Amino acid sequence: MIKTGFDSAKYLEMQSKKISERIEEFGGKLYLEFGGKLFDDFHASRVLPGFAADNKIILLQNLKDKAEIIITINAIDIAKNKLRSDLGITYDDDVLRLIDIFRSKGLYVGSVVISQFSKDNQPAIAFGKKLEKLNLRVYRHYTIKGYPNDVSHIVSDDGYGKNDYVETSRQLIVVTAPGPCSGKMATCLSQLYHEHKRGIKAGYAKYETFPIWNLPLDHPVNIAYEAATADLNDVNLLDPWHFAAYNEKAVNYNRDVETFPILNLLFERIMGESPYKSPTDMGVNMVGFCISDDALCQEAARQEIIRRYFKAMVGERQYISSSLETQKIKLMMDRLGLSVNDRLVVPAALKCQKRTRTPSAAIQLNDGRIITGKTTDLMGCSSSVLLNSLKALGNIDDSVKLIAPSAIEPIQALKTQYLGSKNPRLHTDEVLIALSMSAATNQLAKYAMAQLKYLNGCEIHTTTILGSVDERVFRSLGLNVTSEPVYSTKKLYRK
């Protein structure tokens, strides 16, 4: 049984109430900037055990009669074909994916804003036309000269005034995006300008889960957020504006603290006076009040920092991130007195590799048992450890052959003779297909298949960098994956 350190039911109640209160404070519309991931927030569920990955979606479903969604995408990101690294799809494709998901949850997507739009950006123009053909309302916001410092120009007909006014019909306007730097805040502020020019009461608030403002600056959960955003150079800080106004310590991050004086001026110019005395005031996050087991969350956060360290090392090895990211996270580990061996699957996998002299893997089950697997002629270590874990979960004797060699050999022949693969070993997806076929006639194989759900939340470490297929399968099963920054072969081409 997975232990929980976070009360999701309490969180949904408190968070819904807080947002509703903020709507009432402004007496009209609330533009709520959603930072981070609106759904599938697996970082939050890892560092706050018990936090459901789709909590924010559930929250919006509770408020769906009041809410509509604006999705913002940066025109420059469209032109660059910017990718979401976690999904491997472009930001423009992700906009379509997000709309489909929101609609499937019964949420109303009102429109799409293309920010930093220019008339010579042909990919952005084409994407806007594509959305309009799909019967989506599209609005264009332009690059503003002197942004964000020339407040007088920004809050004028030649600044925000040039942007399209996004027509909305509900009280709560949720502004979200495929990724960071998409223009969420700029969209909110532009809308405030247009609403107030029309005499419509409207306000702004920000919903960021991390850093958690009412946890200490050096709390592992807040440090884990720094590790997760090491590539963005985000740094947690005590909010000086909040302390000056209330004599109360609150944690925020550098970008919000640095931009608050300008934001304050923008609010004053748009609304007559600023509704906030600090960047922390702008937030509505109630997560910190819903931690039920602080010690458990601290340990979960420490484990996340180690996972982020391995992710950074692999990214550096693959030339997709810099050594600075790795060094920053290593410093965080040093601050907390952490070693990679504190992630128990790491020494277990390395010990197995030393013993077998083959690439190896280790899975820590939710009951604490650690299962290992080695590379064989039939399977890679990922496939071996997966089958071994299913046996352990089902109390199936290790000597039992869940998949007959006769079922494996045709798959190997297909790969090598017809599909051009030089690696006859079965990947995890192929093993699961073979296992599901065996389950039709083999009751033990069927029982082993039924154990897959118990892998959710388990830890896995491999002694070589995982292939994309194996990594995708493990993540789909809910395992937390790390790897040594070592390739299994010396080949240069690894597709």
DSSP character string of 44-66: HHHHSTT--TTHHHHHHHHTTTT
* Cα(109)–Cα(327) distance, integer angstroms: 41
Any bridge partners for residue 117, and if so which? 142
How confident is the model at residue 204, as a pLDDT?
A: 97
What is the per-residue pLDDT for 180? 83
- What distance in Å separates the CA atoms of residue 155 and residue 400, rounded to the nearest whole number? 72
Tokens of 342: 């504190």
Looking at residue 219, what is its pLDDT? 98
Record the pTM: 0.91
For 6, phi then psi, to 5°, come to -140, 135
Cα–Cα distance measured from residue 395 to residue 441, given in angstroms and rounded to the nearest whole number: 19
Distance CA 31, CA 68 (A): 10
Could you tell me the domains of the chain? 8-290 (3.10.630.10), 344-483 (3.40.140.40)
Q: How many Cα atoms are found within 13 Å in the side-chain-facing hemisphere of 342?
A: 17
pLDDT at 39: 76
Average pLDDT across each block of 10 residues of the chain; the chain has 495 residues. List them in order.
89 95 93 84 93 91 94 96 80 94 94 96 97 97 92 95 96 93 94 96 95 97 95 91 97 93 94 95 97 98 98 92 94 97 98 97 97 92 96 94 79 74 81 90 93 96 94 94 87 53
Nearest to 448 by CA among 398, 405, 390, 392: 390
Q: Which residue has the tokens 């070693």?
A: 339
| pLDDT at position 94 | 93
Which of 129, 256, 285 minimizes the C-alpha distance to 185?
256
Cβ atoms of 72 and 176 within 8 Å: the answer is: yes
The 370-374 sheet, strands edge to edge: 370-374, 360-364, 459-462, 480-483
